[in-house]
Amino acid sequence: MIGIFDSGIGGLTVARAVMELFPHLNICYFGDTARTPYGTKSKDTVTRYAVENTRFLLDQGAKIIVVACNTASAVAVPTLRERFDVPIFEVISPAVDMALSLAKAKRIGVIGTRGTINSGIYERLIKERDPERKVFSEPCPLLVSLVEEGWLKKPETRMIVKKYLHPLKAQQIQSLILGCTHYPILKQLIARKIGKRVKIVDSSEAVSVSLKRYLDDNPRVMDGLSKGGESVFHVSDVTAQFAKTAQLILNRRVDLQHATPLEC
């Protein structure tokens, strides 16, 4: 199966995108809701969590790992690729590829957790590929908590999103990378607040396209994946709010299975 993990609920946007592209493949998702958010944690802690999460998914039968967390993608993927002999996908490089494909977007904005923004990984990767691009980054630490709490349509959320995006609007960005997989849940609100002229780059869509390209190019790997379209969802802390928001994201009832952090 394809294993996907995130610090919480945001990675379900990646799961949704993968399920839409590969409705016949089996998916195993792990949301580390007991230890969310990752964006405020140290590099060593996030890396340890990512290793534990990957090991858990492999124990469930995963043959491919998708790190559906920008913070873990920024700091932990080199360690994961060193320790585990399976294809490992992260959400940052595909989003950078998608942003750079917008040839007219010379001024690129990035929003993410403090951990992702402080890593500077988006700016570094973009500048390596195209030094002429201008990159403007803004940490948005409250958005993960607002999504996890289900505050998707609260006036407080609209106000906070507007405040976070104001510096990027002032820089007259032409595209905006959603550098956290929680943020696509707020994509419509973000799009309204940043303005119609700004192209939104959704990392959950970008990584699913990257995965499809890989499987198209590696038919033997595709042949080794179980078919049947079954999806299993594990969380390290089962909450009614997670179940409610998960159902909203996936547009279906989600049966959550508990897996403690010690098992991961």
Length in residues, the chain: 264
Other Cβ atoms closer than 10 A to 114:
15
- Given the residues 28, 140, 180, 264, select the one marked as catalytic: 180
Amino acid sitting at position 66:
V
Q: Please confirm, yes or no, whether 69 is among the known catalytic residues.
A: yes
Phi, psi of 132 (to 5 degrees): -80, -15
**Which residues, at least 6 apart from 19, have a Cβ–Cβ distance to it below 8 Å?**
27, 231, 250
Amino acid sitting at position 19:
M
Q: Please confirm, yes or no, whether 28 is among the known catalytic residues.
A: no
* Residue 72: closest CA among 105, 111, 32: 32
* Cα separation, 169 vs 53, whole angstroms: 37
Pair 191, 162: CB distance under 8 Å: no
Phi, psi of 2 (to 5 degrees): -95, 125
Distances 193 to 27, 30, 164, 188 between C-alpha atoms, Å: 34, 31, 10, 9
Amino acid sitting at position 198:
V
Task: Tell me which residues are annotated as active site.
Answer: 69, 180
